[in-house]
Structure 1
Amino acid sequence: MNEQTLDAYCRKQPGVTHDYQMDWECDRYHVGGKIFAMIGGDSKGVRILTLKCDPMRAEELRETYEGIVPGYHMNKSHWNSVYLDADIPEGLWERMIEHAYETVLQKLPKRVQQEIKSE
């Protein structure tokens, strides 16, 4: 998967904001001020997409796909990192981004959720 496609898909979710974190050298995607996705590199500079994930689903994805590992520099229970060159089915990329977005959105106050959904 290429970074431009992932960037566009992350940005198209309702209420998403984006910034670039210089210290981490990564693009960050937020909903309601909370990060749900990041595109950056691992310790060797290999490009990864890091996504928020339900802990049970996170473990299942890691066991199923070699290119999905515990979140790089993140809480290993709640985040996965996916190597951009990993052999991942096409639709899975989108579903993982949507899951990350929804996971964070559902933790926001109901008022904030309603504001985002009405945009």
Structure 2
Amino acid sequence: MKYPWIDEFLLSKAGVTKDLQAEWNWIRYMIGGKMFAAVCLDETDTPYYITLKLDPLEGDMLRQEYEDIIPGYYMNKSHWNSVKANGSIKDELLKELLDKSYNLVFEKLTKKLQKQILSEEKNG
């Protein structure tokens, strides 16, 4: 995979956990129990897509601009987008998109859960 930093980058964010969704062979990254990113693995456990959530208008614009960003692989096509794991998307852009996905999902959590996650980050 072109983005070897992705696991460390995502796990460094406040409150993030990961698991393997075995039925799909996806490594899911979640905050407050809600997925905001996934690394989709093929039958040899090689990453082939990085799926993330974006504002529908931004996702549509990016899919028109970059051939390596497609509608979400096995996901809602208006909110989720997939980046080819060996594509031409620059690290900086992917990090920006992952940050946006994290923030979109974090903002949808209850205020109580947001405070809990942020206080754990300060105390941890």
- Deviation of 1:46 after TM superposition, in Å, equals 6.5
Q: Which string of whole-angstrom CA distances, capped at 9 and with x for unpartnered residues, describes residues 54-112 of structure 1? A: 11111011011110000000000000000011111221011011001000000000111
Instruction: Check the 8 A contact 1:50/1:71 in 2, yes or no.
Output: yes
Larger radius of gyration: 2
Q: How does 1:6-85 map to 2 (within 5 A)?
A: 6-41=6-41, 47-85=48-86
The TM-score with structure 2 as length reference comes to 0.88
SS where residue 74 of structure 1 aligns? coil
Q: Structure 1 residues 87-96 or 22-31, which shifts more? A: 87-96
Match of 2:87 in 1: 86
Instruction: Check the 8 A contact 2:51/2:73 in 1, yes or no.
Output: yes
RMSD of aligned alpha carbons: 1.8
Instruction: Check the 8 A contact 1:30/1:37 in 2, yes or no.
Output: yes
Instruction: Check the 8 A contact 1:42/1:48 in 2, yes or no.
Output: no
Q: Which string of whole-angstrom CA distances, capped at 9 and with x for unpartnered residues, describes residues 12-31 of structure 1? A: 11100110011000100000
Work out the number of aligned pairs and report it: 118
Runs of at least 4 residues of structure 1 off by over 3 A?
1-4
Structure 1 residue ranges without an equivalent (≥5): none
SS where residue 117 of structure 2 aligns? helix
The TM-score with structure 1 as length reference comes to 0.91
The separation in 2 between residues aligned to 1:26 and 1:2, in whole angstroms, is 17
